Amino acid sequence: MADHSPLRLNVPEPEVRPGGKPDFSNVKIPKAGSVDRPPVDVPPEDIRDMAYSIIRVLNRKGEAVGPWAGTLTNEEVLSGLRDMMRVRAFDRRMLTAQRQGKTSFYMQCLGEEAIACAFRKAMEDGDMNFPTYRQQGLLIAGGYPMVDMMCQIYSNTRDPNKGRQLPVMYSSKKFGFFSISGNLATQFPQAVGWAMASAIKNDTRIAAAWIGDGSTAESDFHAGLVFASTYKAPVVLNIVNNQWAISTFQGIARGGSGTFAARGHGFGIPSLRVDGNDYLAVHAVARWAIERARRNLGPVLIEHVTYRAAAHSTSDDPSAYRPKEESDAWPLGDPVERLKNHLVAVGEWSPERHKQAEAEIDAEVLAAQKEAEAFGTLHSGPKASPRDIFEDVYDKMPPHLRRQRQEAGY
Amino acid sequence: MPRMTMIEAIRDAHMVAMERDDDVVVFGEDVGYFGGVFRCTQGLQERFGRERCFDSPISECGIVGTAIGMAAYGLRPCVEIQFADYVYPAYDQIVSEAARIRHRSAGDFTCPLTIRMPTGGGIFGGQTHSQSPEALFTHVSGLKVVVPSNPIDAKGLLIASIEDDNPVIFLEPKRLYNGPFDGHHDKPIIPWSKHPLGDVQAGHFTEPLGKAVVRREGSAVTVLAYGTMVYVAEAAAEESGIDAEVIDLRTLLPVDLDAITKSVRKTGRCVVVHEATLTSGFGAELSALVQEHCFYHLEAPVRRVTGWDTPYPHAQEWTYFPGPARIGAALAEVMEG
């Protein structure tokens, strides 16, 4: 065997780096309304193409078109717009609070608001999310008090987590929001297990798993898919593809696979791809997937195609690895603007009312912030008791922890 | 009273726990139809149905990850890792998740989960069927770690673990599955049917987690042991003629400090034995606890007799395994101190 040239390692690179001109010409965007809506009991093998397309409802004129349109009343859409605006205002305020030293850390979901907000509206009370740290919209759209979220961020005396967790690692069983962990992807098979439990108990509740594009490379992602597939667990497996995992572009996690949604094919899981910046499309796809799961027809994988418009976290500077103008060039636009334009187009909204709503929501968030800060911030005012770190390690405090608590002076 | 092997006792514990509580579910690799490679779950699927006892894909992180989700829902999963040597793919789920969910959510979510795994050597299991990874779990806040040494404890402690509201790592010394083993590998095996600890009460009972038991009373030196090493230590005491008090810890986390200090303050000497490797093994923690709490009663330095700091070998098994001769020598040595 001769004449083989030396082997070479392939290390994918994004199209553009800082200083370059953003280029998304390789992102194929189908026309709104052009993707079929199959019946919820469709065999997975009949819809394999959907993992390579993008379900979209809102067209450039702001009209809701095609077979996925019409899952919400105008009133519900207006409420959805307010949810997204609330999430954005909340993020803006908490980002500032971090910069002012009122807390140590924060993570925005700028540009991704539609995904969690719309998905939450397709769920029912009692269903359970296994979120990542970038689904704050699930809480806000689910009616969880913003004050409690802020208290968690400030680690103050009213922090539901008693100051034990980093900011944004919320937990609320009552609001269907599983305790967030810093360890990526672990919640993915946990969601499948929760759904299996619901099936074991002949319940009707479903679970939703959440993961980012980067974390799909974790082994827990694959474990989650295997178990969901084997036991036909009533779970919706959400991948939020925001193109970036900190500084790493999605090509590093995706490799040679056409899309993240296509990963579901090998597991026999129906896999859809949706415009993550289109509130109406996300809601329609979520409703379809949730109905399929609730009818015991098994899991659904959804890839939400979006763009992480802000820094990864308050500890990150994206200008070091991607062009500053890249988010402006993102072809799926901004979810808030697009839904606003839709409501204006159908005569339910106006730029003036939008401005007024922005002011109302800002005031609402500010009032929540004031209330939260009355219970303390990380470095000023009262905070959770140091005594509390020894509680909840176990259901009952074992002797060695009692000794250590006393040694610590509590 | 029915005579049971440790395998039968574990099986019976499952039966009792599943009978009493519909929320107990059992799964793992080969545990369903086949009843487990060690037969510990035999008959459960037939009796309780496929939704309560089932086979899983070969994915340890998937087994533990889904079990955590089930526990968050409100079930009480009792899952099996086929060998403790294969628990590492699930380590992230155990350490970062199961152990911390209650604490990080301030009790909003809990994890009443039992993870069973055959552990230990003495069976020519080589590198990946002989390990004793207990120290990797005793270092994790939020876990309980249990190692039974006989059929009565295996049943009572397993039922207690399943009923406990905390995540429990339940390590089953597979060398003890069919009978006690004192390290004399050249002698015929005695079955549990000929041992008093094979008399296992029928029906529901528990043994408390966090409580040690004195297996052999003695006045000269305290031996802290668990699992297979309990019998090896007993043999070493008989053969050396040194009146050792052998304590079977049963639960390593939280450990029964009162039982340890009571005994060492009486004897003034202590030998710690385990199969696991020496460096940073659980023996280091035991030795430190004895030094901290019994310093003024100690007549000699605390000795540790453990596996060597090497991977578990195949052909050289009996050089590696801390047998009665090595423990006897250590007992004699501390008596000189």
Q: How confident is the model at residue B1 (pLDDT cuts 50, 70, 90)?
A: low
Task: Report the chain B residue with the minimal C-alpha distance to residue A390.
Answer: B103
Please choose, from the candidates A291, A263, A330, A279, the residue with its C-alpha nearest in 3D space to the C-alpha of residue A32. A279
Q: How far does the CA of residue A174 sit from the closest CA of chain B (Å)?
A: 9
Hey, what amino acid is at A374?
A
CB atoms < 10 A from the CB of B94, how many?
A: 28
pLDDT at B337 over 80: no
CATH class of B6-198: alpha beta
Q: How confident is the model at residue B65 (pLDDT cuts 50, 70, 90)?
A: very high
Does the reported pTM lie above 0.90? yes
Is A204 touching B (CB cutoff 8 A)?
no
Tokens of B17: 């726990």
Give phi and psi for A236, each to the nearest 5.
-105, 120
Residue of B73, B92, B103 with shortest CB distance to A197: B73
Q: What's the pLDDT at A1?
A: 61
Active site residue B129: yes
Gyration radius from chain B CA atoms = 19
Per-residue model confidence as pLDDT tens digits over A311-344: 999 999 999 999 999 999 999 999 999 999 999 9
Question: If you average pLDDT over residues A401-409, what whole number do you get?
Answer: 96
pLDDT at A213 over 80: yes
Check A179 against B105: CB less than 8 A apart: yes
Fold agreement (B6-198, B213-335): yes
What is the CATH topology of the domain spanning B213-335? Answer: Rossmann fold (3.40.50)
Q: How far does the CA of residue A166 sit from the closest CA of chain B (Å)?
A: 10
Provide, as residue numbers in chain B, all residues whose Cβ is less than 8 Å from the Cβ of A184: none
What is the CATH topology of the domain spanning A48-312+326-379? Answer: Rossmann fold (3.40.50)
Please report the DSSP string for A164-208 in residue order: -S-TT---BTTTTBPPP-SSTTTHHHHHHHHHHHHHHTT----EE
Q: How far does the CA of residue B281 sit from the closest CA of chain A (Å)?
A: 19
Q: Which residues lie closer than 8 Å to A396 by C-beta, 6 or more apart? A: none
Classify residue A346 by its DSSP letter.
T
Q: What's the pLDDT at A385?
A: 84
Among A200, A231, A232, A401, most B C-beta atoms within 10 A, so best to mutate, is A200
Touching B: A residues 109-128, CB under 8 Å: 128
Q: Which of B129, B184, B274, B314 is flagged as catalytic?
A: B129
Provide, as residue numbers in chain A, all residues whose Cβ is less than 8 Å from the Cβ of B56: 227, 230
Question: If you average pLDDT over residues B99-128, what whole number do you get?
Answer: 97
Per-residue model confidence as pLDDT tens digits over B201-236: 999 999 999 999 999 999 999 999 999 999 999 999
Residue of A172, A182, A223 with shortest CB distance to B61: A223
Check A395 against B110: CB less than 8 A apart: yes
CB atoms < 10 A from the CB of A4, how many?
A: 6
Provide, as residue numbers in chain A, all residues whose Cβ is less than 8 Å from the Cβ of B254: 398-400
CB atoms < 10 A from the CB of A45, how many?
A: 9
pLDDT at A41 over 70: yes
Residue ranges per structural domain of chain B:
6-198, 213-335
Tokens of B94: 């155990």
> Residue A133, SS3?
coil
Please choose, from the candidates A6, A48, A52, A54, the residue with its C-alpha nearest in 3D space to the C-alpha of residue A33. A54
Residue ranges per structural domain of chain A:
48-312+326-379, 384-409
Please give the Cα distance from B76 to B27 (Å, whole number): 11
Please give the Cα distance from A294 to A404 (Å, whole number): 48
Among A127, A157, A196, most B C-beta atoms within 10 A, so best to mutate, is A196
Task: Report the chain B residue with the minimal C-alpha distance to residue A192.
Answer: B66
Q: How confident is the model at residue B2 (pLDDT cuts 50, 70, 90)?
A: confident
Per-residue model confidence as pLDDT tens digits over A346-400: 999 999 999 999 999 999 999 999 999 999 999 998 887 889 999 999 999 999 9
Provide, as residue numbers in chain A, all residues whose Cβ is less than 8 Å from the Cβ of B101: 179
Indicate the range of B2-6, B132-136, B171-175, B292-296 predicted with least confidence: B2-6
Task: Report the chain A residue with the minimal C-alpha distance to residue B165.
Answer: A395
Please choose, from the candidates B215, B226, B211, B327, the residue with its C-alpha nearest in 3D space to the C-alpha of residue B283. B226
Per-residue model confidence as pLDDT tens digits over A64-101: 999 999 999 999 999 999 999 999 999 999 999 999 99
Query: How many Cα atoms within 13 Å fall on the side-chain side of residue A41?
Result: 2
Check A186 against B97: CB less than 8 A apart: yes
> For chain A, what percent of residues have pLDDT higher than 70?
100
Task: Report the chain B residue with the minimal C-alpha distance to residue A205.
Answer: B73
